[in-house]
Structure 1
C-alpha cells in the first residue's frame, strides 16, 4: 500500500530543522572559540619554568657567530638540568594537589569565578604534558631512567625542604637567643632593683622600731619613783614596835 507524500508540506519543517541545527552548530563553535580565546588570555597559574628553559637551552645549544663548532655540553650537565626540571615539577605537583580541594570547594560555594577554575584546569593539563615530556627526555638520555627520575626528584625536593626548615629553625633560634639575652639582662636589673628596694624598706623599718625604745628609756630615767606608804610593807619593823610600846605607857 503506497502513500502519497506531500513534499511541499514537509519542505517548511525540514527547512526549519536545518536552519535550527545550523544555528546551534554555529553558536557552539563560536562559543568554544571564544572560551578558548578567553582561557588563552587568562594569566597562567604558575610563573615561567626556568629549569625547563635552562634544560632546553643546554640541549639545543648552537655555535656562536664566527665559531665553527660549539663546545659540546657534557651529558652529566644535561642530566643534572633535567633532574632539576623534574624537581621543580614535583614542587608544582604538590601545589596543585593542595590547591585542588580548596578551589573546588570555593567554586561550589560561589566564592570564586569560573576563570580561576579554568586557570587551574589548564595548569593541570600543562603539568600532565610536562611529566610526559620529562619521562620521554629521561628515556632518551638513559634507558629506563624515566621510571625512576621522579623518585630521585622527590627525594631531592624533600631534602631541600628539610634543609630550608632547618635553616629557618636555626635563624629563629639565633633570634630567640638574642631576645633571651636581652630579657635576661632586663630581669637581672629588675631583680637587683627589687633587692635594693627591700633592703631600704628593712632599714627604714629597723630605724622606726629603734626610735620608740630609746624615748621610753629616757622617760623612765627622768620620772621619780613613787612609794606607797599605806601598805604594810612600806613601814619598817622597828618603828612599829616603838609605836606599840608608846601606846602601852
Structure 2
C-alpha cells in the first residue's frame, strides 16, 4: 500500500507560511503607516467652534470657590445645538460641492493621494457629526432629531439670502459712488469742451472783427461816393432844361 511522505511537504509549507507571514506583516505595517500619515494630515475644515461652544455649555464646570456650576437654560443649549447643526449644513454643502471636483482631479493625476485622504476623512467625520447631532437633539427634545436639520437648513438658506442681499446693497452703493464720480467727470469734460468752443468762437470773432470793420468802412465809402454822384447828377439836371427852351425859341423865330 502507498504511503504518503509528509516530509516532502515540509519545505513548501514552510515557504507558504513564511510568504503569508511576510504579506501579513507588510499589510499591517502599511496600514499602520497610512493611519499615521492620515492622522498627521491637515484637517479639511477649521475647528468646529459651534460644537465646542455647545459641549462647553453642556458640560460647564463650576468656577473656583463654587460648589455647583450654574445651570445653563435649556433654551440656550438648544440654540447652541441648532447653531451647531447650521454649521454642519454649511460643511455638508462644501463636501458635496468639492467631491466631484476632487474625484476628477485625482483621476487626472492633478492632485495627490493625500488630498483625497483628507477629503475622505472629512467626509467620515461629518457622518459621525450628523449622527451625534441627531442623538443630542433627541436627548434634549424627543423627536427633535428628525427635524433639526430641516430647521438648520432653513436658517442656513436665510443667512445665505441675507448675505447676498447685503452684497447687492454694498455693490449698489459702490456702483452709485462710481456713477457719481463718472457723472462729475463727464460734466467736467463737457464744460471744458464748452469753454474750448467758446474760446475758439471768441478768437474767431476777434479775428473776423477787423475784416468786418474794414468791410463796413469800404461800404460806407462806397455809399458816400454814391451819394456824391447823386448830388452831382441832381445839380446838373436843372441847367439842361433852359438850354432846351432856348433852342425851341430860336426855331420859332
TM-score using structure 1 length: 0.84
Aligned to 2:109: 110
Deviation at 1:138, TM superposition (A): 0.4
* 1:59-92 Cα deviation digits (max 9, x unpaired): 1112223212221111100000000000000000
- Structure 1 residue ranges without an equivalent (≥5): 226-236, 239-249
Find the aligned partners of 2:108 and 2:81 in 1 and give their Cα distance: 40
Aligned to 2:8: 9
Deviation at 1:204, TM superposition (A): 2.9
Aligned to 1:45: 44
SS of the counterpart of 2:55?
A: helix
SS of the counterpart of 1:190?
A: helix
Aligned to 2:190: 191
Find the aligned partners of 2:195 and 2:18 in 1 and give their Cα distance: 102
Q: Which protein has the bigger helix share?
A: 2
Aligned to 1:124: 123
Aligned to 2:74: 75
Q: How many residues align?
A: 228
Aligned to 1:204: 203
Find the aligned partners of 1:168 and 1:111 in 2 and give their Cα distance: 34
Find the aligned partners of 1:217 and 1:64 in 2 and give their Cα distance: 108
Matches within 5 A, 1:152-231: 152-219=151-218, 221=221
Deviation at 1:3, TM superposition (A): 3.3
Deviation at 1:132, TM superposition (A): 0.3
Find the aligned partners of 1:16 and 1:78 in 2 and give their Cα distance: 63
- Structure 2 residue ranges without an equivalent (≥5): 227-239, 242-253
Deviation at 1:186, TM superposition (A): 2.0
Find the aligned partners of 1:213 and 1:72 in 2 and give their Cα distance: 103
SS of the counterpart of 2:80?
A: helix
SS of the counterpart of 2:71?
A: coil
Aligned to 1:30: 29
Matches within 5 A, 1:54-65: 54-65=53-64
Find the aligned partners of 1:177 and 1:36 in 2 and give their Cα distance: 56
Find the aligned partners of 1:186 and 1:36 in 2 and give their Cα distance: 64
Over 6 Å off, 4+ runs: none
Residues 1:18 and 2:17 are matched in the alignment: yes
> 1:219/1:40 Cα in 2 relative to 1: closer, same or farther (>3 Å)?
same
Find the aligned partners of 2:65 and 2:215 in 1 and give their Cα distance: 117
Find the aligned partners of 1:3 and 1:157 in 2 and give their Cα distance: 81
Find the aligned partners of 1:219 and 1:71 in 2 and give their Cα distance: 112
Find the aligned partners of 2:215 and 2:168 in 1 and give their Cα distance: 70
